[in-house]
Each structure stands twice: as structure tokens, then as C-alpha cells.
Amino acid sequence: MIRALAVLSVALAGPALAAEPLGPPGAPAGAFPRPDRPVAEIVAPRWSSEAERDKAGEFEQVAKGMGIAAGETVADIGAGSGYYVVRLSPRVGPAGRVLAEDVTPAYLSALETRVKALKNVTVVRGEPHDPRLPPASVDAAILVHMYHEITQPFGLLHNLAAGMRPGGRVGIVDADAIPSRHGTPPALLRCELAAAGYRETGFQPLTDGAYLAVFAAPAPEARPKPEAIRPCRDDATAR
């Protein structure tokens, strides 16, 4: 029922209002190999009620696991309905900034309406392979229950790294399931992030059955060239 209502609300939201990219285009999608695994469809901007997620302590677990602090710039990649955005805003405070990035016009429109009163939030229109963030501007980025929906993960990871400050960290929340069941096996995730030059720095299960994996983004000079990246294959996904 919740998913049906979410889909309906997106359909009624209309086109995006004014969201624009914040950074120049990165490497094109065609420069990267395609992932050797299925890619899930984008179904809805949310998959559970916010009250249920709060009861499970989802945001607090992720924010603590990511070490998100006041004054930081945090990008929510694939922000969807804005669940994390509105909770990140008070956490980073007036000296911090939240970039609510998405690629779906209806989601962007709904986001702009929801965050209108939040002075430290900017809605960003990205591309499926490129979040279009300002270069070297982001302290932390989160990708919540959407990694399995990325059609060109190597391109997105490569271009996301360009937007990260030195020491920037990327947190990925997903279910331990194959992509067709809207999840990513941790072994496959680690392989794909490593192929894009990322280094794992933390991993923890969450109370809702998902996991948080944290990675250090590669410095610009350490990013593998697109043609050097090799796709990963996971036994669970192959089955």
C-alpha cells in the first residue's frame, strides 16, 4: 500500500521546478564498462514509512556510522522522497550544507517543495552516471537503497569522486540481496567500489536487515581511467 501511494504521489508531482546541475559534466557514460549483473528498476522514492524507519533508528545508525558532523557538506545521491535530507539539515547545522541529488524529474519537484524552508539544502539535478556536484566540495555522500538501480555504477562512482573533498567518505546502504530483489551482495559491492578506486573503511549491519558500507573516495589522481575498469561478477548474482 505504501509503495502504491508513493508511486501515485510521484505521478501527481509534475515536472521538476528549478533544480539544476551544480558541477560541470564528468566522464560520459559510454566511457565505462557496463556492470556484469542485472540492474533493478526505479520503483518509488520510498519503500517504507518514515515513522517505521525512525522507529528502527535507521537515520541515526547511518549518520553515526558515517561520522556526519556539524558544518559538513553532505550529498544525498538519489535523495528520493527526502527522508535523509530533512534529517541531515539540522545535523549539519547552519554552517553545513545538504545537496539533495536525484535524476527523476517528479522526485526533484517533490523534493523542492519539501525542503523549501530549509536554508542549508540545495536540490541538484544529476544524471544517471554523474551526480554533477561541484568539484572537491563534499565531505560525505550517502547512497541509500539505490545502488542496485544505478545503470552505470562505474561512471557514477568515478564522477562522484571528483566532487569529494580529500578524505571524503561515501556510505552505501543496501539490502544483502541480488539486484533483481533490490539489493546488492556485499562482496559484489566491495568489488565494484574497489574497481573504481574506493577503499572500504567500515561495514555494519543495520537493525532493519540492511547494511551500511563506508568507503574512502579516491583522490583525483588515484581514480582509475574509465577504460582500465573491469566489471565484477558475483556468484549470488549469477545464480
Chain centroid to CA 7: how far? 20
- Residue 12: how many other CB atoms lie within 10 Å: 10
pTM of the model: 0.89
User: Which pLDDT tens digit goes with each residue over 66-81?
Assistant: 999 999 999 999 999 9
Is pLDDT above 60 for 45?
no
- Residue 35: how many other CB atoms lie within 10 Å: 21
User: Which pLDDT tens digit goes with each residue over 137-147?
Assistant: 999 999 999 99
Give the span between the Cα atoms of 239 and 234, in whole angstroms: 9
Place 238 in a pLDDT band, splitting at 50, 70 and 90: low
